[in-house]
């Protein structure tokens, strides 16, 4: 899976792709319009962050590239690639349990905090994308 050279883009299937973990310096792009909302991405080798209308959506430490990012009322799905293991934080529904899978292997049930943050660690090897899904349990 290649990095997202343009930092953020809409894919033909309607999903979002964003992030470039190969950049040495923090780079950002604001006011990307997608389905009537404005997105902002900040990315480089140490962090990737996505905001929607000024609100937190996604963050990874170390930086990542994300493709196929889709959020519905009950789930979030994406494919993630990075040079190193990453901690990923997602903004989802508060105080809600999600069944999390990585490459179709169940990781377990993770409950979001009162602020809706779901945090998970993902083992990443450069050039090896991982499919992540979180579905309301």
Name the nearest CA neighbour of 82 among 47, 49, 32.
47
List Cβ neighbours of 87 (8 Å cut-off, separation of 6 or more): 60, 61, 119, 120, 121, 122
Which CATH code fits 8-136?
A: 2.60.220
Q: What percent of the chain has pLDDT over 70?
A: 99
Does 1 score more than 60 pLDDT?
no
The reported pLDDT for the residue numbered 3 is 80
The reported pLDDT for the residue numbered 115 is 92
Mean pLDDT to the nearest integer, 26-51: 97
65-95 pLDDT tens trace: 999 999 999 999 999 999 999 999 999 999 9
Strand partners, 80: 66, 130
Mean pLDDT score of the chain, rounded to an integer? 95
Domain chopping of the chain, boundaries: 8-136
- Integer Cα distance of 50 and 131 in angstroms: 18
CB atoms within 10 A of CB 25: 6
Sheet containing 27-34: give its strands across: 27-34, 37-44, 47-52, 55-61, 86-91, 117-122
Read off the pLDDT band of 112 (50, 70, 90): very high
The reported pLDDT for the residue numbered 8 is 97
Mean pLDDT to the nearest integer, 14-22: 97
């Amino acid at each position: 899976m290649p990095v997202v050279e343009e930092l953020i883009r809409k894919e033909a299937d309607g999903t979002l792709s964003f992030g470039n973990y190969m950049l040495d310096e923090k780079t950002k792009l604001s006011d990307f319009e997608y389905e009537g909302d404005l997105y902002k991405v900040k990315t480089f080798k140490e962090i990737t962050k996505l905001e929607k209308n000024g609100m937190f959506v996604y963050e990874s430490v170390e930086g990542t590239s994300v493709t196929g990012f889709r959020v519905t009322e009950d789930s979030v799905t994406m494919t993630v690639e990075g040079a190193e293991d990453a901690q990923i934080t997602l903004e989802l529904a508060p105080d809600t349990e999600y069944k999390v899978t990585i490459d179709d292997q169940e990781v377990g049930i993770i409950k979001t905090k009162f602020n809706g943050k779901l945090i998970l660690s993902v083992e990443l090897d450069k050039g090896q994308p991982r499919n992540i899904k979180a579905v309301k349990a």
